[in-house]
Amino acid sequence: MTRTTRRRLIAIALAVVAVATSATACSSASGGSTNEAAAGSGTYTIWDPYPQFDKTSAWAKLLDGCGSKAGVHIKRTAFDTSDLTNKTLLAAQQANSPDVLIVDNPVVSTLAEAGVLSTTAENKIDTSKVDPNLLAAGQSGGKTYGIPVGANTLALYYNKAVLKSAGVDIASVKDWKTLTAALAKVKASGKKGITFSAIGTEEGSFQFLPWFWGSGAQLTKLDSAQGVSALSLWTDWLKKGYAPNSVINNTQTTSWQEFATGTYAFAENGTWQLANAKKAGFGYGVIPVPAASGGNAAAPTGGEFVTVPVQSKTARYATSDTIVSCLTSAQNSLSTDTTLSYIAPTTEVQDKQVAADSELKAWVGAVKAAKGRTSDNLGTKYPKISEQLWTAVQAALSGSKSPKDALTTAQSSVK
């Protein structure tokens, strides 16, 4: 790839990033500094989206330890998630990329198509033990551009007391029909049914995707009969009072706050709420989002990939590989994913997580059924598709369009 072509692709990628907002599974805070390390200096730079972890944290100490193992000093800079992507693209334009980059998984394909990332084949990074559905989020054009640190996803939290008072056995909730029947019983008992986020941003698409994919629909055909059935499900829940009208403006945080009042039977939310769930003051459980006809629906994966940006001095790759392999080893993955509230990307470590905390069993099941938002070779097409999807959800839930008309308009806009 010529430098001119690469610069053009990076410019396109910057435009794509301006449309996409993928902070669904990441923390945010202020950013850091730029990469000043020179090849052969003994210093290797790492950029990550975890500014909540300072230099005294277990995460920072892990990075330093992996650097020591590789025989180099680590210079770490932490950025807000969206800021990190922009900084990465600009650094690539200036041929000043970090040695190792940890980035939100939907952005991997954008950076790969812009020519910013090297492949795992080039760097001989072993991804053989990673669950294929999780690795897919870091693949584009048949090539793999990184390895996941871990993953989080969505599932249904439920309030045990609310369901008991409504006479609902959680074991009976296996598909959309039985879930809707449970919501009807909860409403009849005087309690509230289900809350979720349907806001007109990436968070809204993120939360709708399990239902969309659970219907059998594909993002390449938004207005399929299956897709319409998924949006009709949500619309009917609002009409019948099983879900509150507030979902139209709910973020994942505000929908959780509704569930935390103790008056809702269900809430769709992620692994990142586990700590809050334990503080809620009432008994709760977790089940994967059910698919329309039963089984676990594919929920979108959150979490970051460890990648190696393209370097002009390719001799640096060997050391970068050592650092990446250290960060994603089974031993380090267990402690890191516990810190980040992530499910590990390999069965070996997932089993250890469940052995240490049985509550994670449902989350492991949800992650194993999960799917990357940019999978199916959508790559940089995803942000536009997502924007039209959340717009359709908003139109249908507000009543301005029927689910069918809303998704037909969305499909036409994508084309």
Answer yes or no: is pLDDT of 195 > 80. Answer: yes
**Which superfamily is assigned to 154-299+378-414 in CATH?**
Periplasmic binding protein-like II (3.40.190.10)
Tokens 């080893």 appear where? Answer: 329
What is the pLDDT confidence band of residue 59, given thresholds at 50, 70 and 90? very high
Q: Which residues contact 76 (CB under 8 A, 6 or more apart)?
A: 45, 46, 47, 48, 55, 60, 63
Range 206-218 average pLDDT: 97
Q: How many Å apart are CA 415 and CA 408, to the nearest integer?
A: 11
Buried/exposed 101-137: b ≥16 CB within 10 Å, e otherwise: bbbbbbbbbbbbbbbbbbbbeebebebeebbebbbbb
H/E run at residue 384: helix 382-398
Alpha helices by DSSP H, listed for 73-173, are 81-93, 105-113, 120-123, 132-135, 160-165
- Rg for the chain, CA atoms, rounded: 22
Contact (CB, 8 A) for 214 and 297: yes
Cα 12 from Cα 14, distance rounded (Å): 5
Instruction: State the amino acid at position 98 in one-letter form.
Output: P
Q: Which fold has domain 3-151+302-369?
A: D-Maltodextrin-Binding Protein; domain 2 (3.40.190)
User: Mean pLDDT of all residues in the chain?
Assistant: 90
How large a percentage of the chain has pLDDT more than 70?
90
Between residues 353 and 13, the one the model is more confident about: 353
List, in sequence order, every beta strand (DSSP E) within 228-352. 264-270, 284-287, 304-307
For the chain, which residues make up each domain, given as ranges? 3-151+302-369, 154-299+378-414
Look up the pTM and report it.
0.84
Half-sphere CA count of 266, side-chain side, radius 13 A = 29
Supply the pLDDT for residue 17. Answer: 52
pLDDT in tens, 365-386: 999 999 999 888 888 899 899 9
pLDDT (0 to 100) of residue 165: 98
Sheet containing 264-270: give its strands across.
192-195, 264-270, 154-159, 284-287
**Beta partners for residue 151, in sequence order:** 343
Taking only the tens place, the pLDDT of each residue in 115-150 is 999 999 998 999 999 999 999 999 988 999 999 999
pLDDT at 10: 52
What is the mean predicted confidence (pLDDT) over 314-335?
Answer: 93
CB-based contact 151:26 (threshold 8 Å): no
Residues 29, 30, 34, 37: is their CA dihedral positive or negative?
negative
Q: Do domains 3-151+302-369 and 154-299+378-414 have the same CATH topology?
A: yes
60-115 pLDDT, tens digit each: 999 999 999 999 999 999 998 878 999 999 999 999 999 999 999 999 999 999 99
Within 10 A of 408 (CB to CB), how many other CB atoms are there? 16
Closest CA to 237 of 181, 190, 287, 284: 181
Q: How far apart (Å, rounded) are the C-alpha atoms in residues 225 and 207?
A: 19
Residue 22 backbone phi and psi in degrees, to 5:
-120, 50
330: tokens are 């089974």
